[in-house]
Amino acid sequence: MNKLFAFLLVSAFLIASCTTTKPTTVTPMETRELDDLVVKAKKIEQKPENIKVPVYHGTRTLDNDLIHTKLDVRFDIPAQELMGKATLTLKPVFYPVSNLILDAKYFTFTQVRLNGPNGPSLKYDYDNTQINIQLEKHYSRKDQYKIYLEYTAHPTQGPKGGSAAIQSDQGLYFIDPNETDPEKPTQIWTQGETESNSKWCPTIDTPNERATHEIAITIADKYETLSNGRLERSVKNTDGTRTDYWNMDMPAAPYLMMMAIGDYAVVRDTWKGKPIAYYVEHEYKDYATDIFPYTKELLTFYSDMLGVPYPWQKYDQVVVRDYVSGAMENTTAVIFQEFMNGTKRELMDQPRNELIVAHEMFHHWFGDYVTCESWANTTLNEGFANYAEYLWLEHKHGKDEADQHLEDELMGYIDNRPYHPLIDYHYGNREDMFDGHSYNKGGCTLHMLRNLVGDEAFFASLNRYLTANALSAVELAELRMAFEDELGTDMHWFFDQWYGHAGHPELEVIHSYDATTQKLTVTIEQTQKGDNIPEVYLLPLKVDIYNNKGKPTRHTIEMTARKQSFTIASNFDPVVVELDPEGTLVGTIEYLDRSDLAWQELYHFMPSYRSRVHAVQHLMIPLREKGKLKEFAKALIKDPYHGIRETGLFALEGEQLDVATLATIEKIAKTDSSTKARANALKTLAETGDQKYVPLVKTILADDSLAYTVTGAALSAISQLAPDQAAAAIKPLENIQNQSILSSIGEIYVNDPSPSHLAFFEKNLTKIKGFEAVDFFGNYVVTVLKVEPNNLGEAFERLKNISTDMTQIPERRFASAKILAEFRSQAGDHPLSAIVTEYLKEIREKETLKELQSIYQQMF
Ligand SMILES: [Zn+2]
């Protein structure tokens, strides 16, 4: 399962590996401060006799084991119902059984029989969530038995649940079931995680169950179907329907079962003899491998890295409409949300597609092949899939790109309070486990573990874990023991403090140098506090000390106390002392005595991305205040990582620039690998007003292979540099519904208001996406004011309708709310002021996304 991408993605940056000398040993000089270690008793408000064991969410007890499910399904699409015939093969796990409890939520049963449709009827109780079937005798663990059920599933019935990551637990979804929406194709698809496949298939719906299954799907012949395993045959029926027989003959957890049905173009290929297929809507047929980029290369990369070749029968991927999450790793049949769709040019600005493909694919080892046995152990699925993104970026795009991702992931976790242990048996709701801990902290912790034990040891241990636990359910101890057995070393301390407890170390660092004794003293204090957060982390750490030439010497220390000093022999007074120089610690580090000058020196020494980006983040405000940001930014635009170059360009906006700096920016505009950097560079060049850039801008406009951000920036640039040529430049782009292009045209049209330009805004109000919507909606309102001022109330109502429609993407909801809030703050006693105030109130009340709710609270 992939989280819906965080709404406010904080873009960071980062690396080039730093040159370091051989580690030297250090003598720790402990200054254990006992006062800090006093454990304060927790306030107990309950009376002693009322204290209970906290709610413990262990692994579900299995009395019966499901071995195989044979399913026959048809649909009443307008009624949003599934008619099913299921034959389940089962056996008692250990103790004899005389009854069978199956999860089956909101079904109507018509037959419950032993063996098959002609077998004896069985008595049962049903409470709308589970069916308890009385077997006709006791079965021992040596027996197998079959149960036959005929039923109608009503997935839209029952209470609605879900989480931030998976927004609904309906299990089975019918899109445009009555074919009333011209914008939407009719589709049927399922979403099983966490325990929602029992909304359409009677099963033992828990991740520690594992069974094979076959599904016969009967549907109108015009539709394609997709399910797990192989399509064995298709049979056309006389009534215009077709039955597809899908067979999943390797066992997997019930939540990984899936079906998807719709009018798709299916693009087929093979990887090492195994079939792969991309299911896309027809208009995207030519872009299937852009929508699911690097699929084959990723299969090879992960197979080789893990030493476990991709284990399943085939690999298929499908984009569905109105999906309730980002993507889902159903075994051999991954479902994705429609934000994946795009043309080759559009997708150049959307590098996240490859990360989602990578994430879901890695689940086919961690999640599908080896499965967390309970939701308390969710990070054994999600932490690995999250870390797969890092591994791919590092391999394909370099360490800076990967380290920027790591930095974003770490911040995503740190902001995700309150903290709970990564393995959490005391969660409130299992859906809450799909959070910034299981994903982000889980991935960052694996990176830290890899750096602790070394690459070879890390991947050998993962191979042992996958091999020893193949096709079974696991808990954390199994991961720990794989490392211990492979490496011959105890790892309990690591797994206990990082997985068994909440939080992370928060370090404060100071240093001093004694020229007489030639000794450097580095004092580190752990300041973290909170429920279930260790007061002291055992931390093996690296320290780089830099001389004034920027050459680092690396030392290794081990922190074992809350506050501790380390003495390091050094024949020079270090310019910078940098803890955790490669940026692998899951935690924060604050340098209490580091000057801005030292931060600047550190940046110029070109250390790892993490150190560079921290220097940049630290210096932006103080240097701006001192009027010294321009000089620093001139260095940033030459950084090897595009994220830092982009920051440099941003900092140079509106500055008077010298010839050499402009030449660097021109080079970025022409050839940079980052579309964003190229776009920013074009903006800066346009601001100079210098006509000499017109030919460059026109060359870019004429190149129809470029990303739309670059073309959009060129369009804005031509309107600034040569306004008389803007109309001609817009013409070939006017019908492209891309946010960068629409936004740039909007910027031009707002300065040239006319009824036809107002019509352009109105036509594209529903098309603009992303944060570009803010400017676009703003320019729309300004154009209405200039062209049709009497229609302003209508324009505001349209914006309000976008903000209060929760099926709209969050960026659009935010953008329209922001424009309304800006109007109200400037409107004074404008006649529409009162109604806009009402609109804002309604927007606040209807918003369901937590991040937006808190932004709105600050905004209006
Ligand atoms: Zn996932």
Give the residue among 423, 559, 421, 541 at the shortest CA–CA distance from 480.
423
The answer to whether the beta carbons of residues 530 and 419 sit under 8 Å apart is yes
According to the model, what pLDDT value does residue 658 have? 97
Q: Provide the token pair at 388.
A: 């797969």
List, for residues 405-441, the tens digit of each pLDDT value: 999 999 999 999 999 999 999 999 999 999 999 999 9
C-alpha 391 – ligand 1 centre gap (Å): 15
Q: How many Å separate Cα 256 from the centre of its chain?
A: 19
CA of 405 to the centre of ligand 1 (A): 16
Å from CA of 326 to ligand 1 middle: 9
Percent of the chain whose predicted confidence (pLDDT) is above 90 = 89
CA distances from 601 to 31, 94, 404, 576, 581 (A): 30, 67, 21, 8, 15
Q: Which residue has the tokens 């966490």?
A: 194
Is the pLDDT at 167 greater than 90? The verdict is no
Using the mean position of ligand 1's atoms as its centre, give its distance from the Cα of residue 444 in Å: 15
Two tokens, residue 658: 């010298």
CA 541 to ligand 1 centroid distance, Å = 30
Residue 154 pLDDT class (50, 70, 90 cuts): very high
Percentages helix, strand, coil for the chain (3-state, rounded to 5) are: 40, 25, 35
The residues, ordered by sequence, that sit 6+ positions from 761 with a Cβ below 8 Å of its Cβ are 746, 749, 776, 779, 780, 783, 784
Q: How confident is the model at residue 765 (pLDDT cuts 50, 70, 90)?
A: very high
How does residue 5 score in pLDDT terms, banded at 50, 70 and 90? very low
Asked whether 333 and 217 are in contact (CB, 8 A), the reply is no
Residue 249's pLDDT band, with cuts at 50, 70 and 90, is very high
Query: How much distance in Å is there from the Cα of 828 to the middle of ligand 1?
Result: 49
User: Ligand 1: distance of its center to the CA of 439 in Å?
Assistant: 8
Distance 827 CA to ligand 1 centre (A): 46
Tell how far the Cα of 473 is from the centroid of ligand 1, in angstroms.
Answer: 16
| Amino acid symbol at 307 | G
For ligand 1, the distance from its centroid to the CA atom of residue 360, given in whole angstroms, is 6
At residue 749, φ and ψ (nearest 5 deg) are -70, -30
> 577 with 592: CB under 8 angstroms?
no
Q: Report the separation in Å between the CA atom of 505 and the middle of ligand 1, taken as the mean of its atom positions.
A: 26
Strand order in the sheet with 124-126: 97-103, 130-139, 124-126
For the chain, give the number of residues: 860
**Least trusted range by pLDDT, from 239-248, 330-339, 710-719, 846-855:** 846-855
Q: What's the pLDDT score for residue 351?
A: 82
Angle, alpha carbons 268-271-277 (nearest 5°)? 25
Mean pLDDT for 525-553 is: 97
Asked if residues 201 and 216 have their Cβ atoms less than 8 Å apart, the reply is: no
The alpha carbon of 806 and the centre of ligand 1 are apart by a number of angstroms equal to 24
Question: What integer pLDDT is reported at residue 24 of this predicted model?
Answer: 32
- Ligand 1 mean position, distance from CA 384 (Å): 8
Confidence of residue 45 (pLDDT cuts 50, 70, 90): low
Which is nearest to 276 in space by CA: 236, 226, 320, 346? Answer: 226
pLDDT at 809: 87
CA torsion 231-235-236-241 (nearest 10°) is: -60
Mean of the pLDDT values across residues 22-38? 32
pTM across the whole model: 0.90
Q: Give the closest residue to 440 by CA, choosing from 366, 367, 376, 385.
A: 385
Query: Mean per-residue pLDDT for 392-403?
Result: 97
Query: What is the predicted pLDDT for the residue at 36?
Result: 31
Q: How far is the CA of 848 from the centre of ligand 1 (A)?
A: 23
Distance between CA atoms of residues 447 and 455, nearest Å: 10
pLDDT confidence of residue 64 = 98
Split at pLDDT 50, 70, 90, the class of 851 is confident
Amino acid occupying residue 813: R
At 548, is the secondary structure helix, strand, or coil?
Answer: coil
- Asked if residue 26 has pLDDT above 60, the reply is no
Nearest to 189 by CA among 237, 148, 223: 223
DSSP letter assigned to residue 25: -
Q: Determine the distance separating the centroid of ligand 1 and the alpha carbon of 478, expressed in angstroms.
A: 20
- Enclosing H/E stretch for 274: strand 274-280
Ligand 1 is an ion; residues with CB less than 5 A from it: 1, 382, 385
Distance (Å) from CA 309 to ligand 1 centroid? 20
Say what the pLDDT of residue 3 is.
58
Single-letter residue type at 292: F
- pLDDT above 60: residue 610: yes
User: 65 CA distance to ligand 1 centroid (A)?
Assistant: 26
Which neighbouring-strand residues pair with 214? 70, 247
Q: How far is the CA of 842 from the centre of ligand 1 (A)?
A: 34
CA–centroid distance, 271 to ligand 1, in Å, is 23
Q: How far is the CA of 196 from the centre of ligand 1 (A)?
A: 16
What per-residue confidence (pLDDT) applies to 10? 29
Compute, in angstroms, the gap from residue 438 CA to the centroid of ligand 1: 10
Q: Give the tens place of pLDDT for each residue, 94-128.
A: 999 999 999 999 999 999 999 999 999 999 999 99
Q: How far is the CA of 161 from the centre of ligand 1 (A)?
A: 19
- Percent with pLDDT over 70 in the chain: 95
Q: What does the pLDDT read at residue 785? A: 94
- pLDDT, residue 41, reads 38
Q: What would the two tokens of residue 345 be?
A: 């040019």
Cα of 764 to ligand 1 centre, how many Å? 34
741-761 pLDDT tens trace: 999 999 999 999 999 999 999
Residue 44 above 50 pLDDT?
no
CA of 327 from ligand 1 middle (Å) equals 8
pLDDT tens readout for residues 366-386: 999 999 999 999 999 999 999
Report the chain's mean pLDDT, rounded to a whole number.
93
Evaluated on CA atoms 379, 384, 386, 390, the torsion sign reads positive
pLDDT value at residue 55: 87
**Cis ω on the peptide bond leading into residue 243 (within 30° of 0)?**
no
Whole-number Å distance, alpha carbon 772 to ligand 1 midpoint, is 29
Q: How far is the CA of 379 from the centre of ligand 1 (A)?
A: 9
CA of 790 to the centre of ligand 1 (A): 50
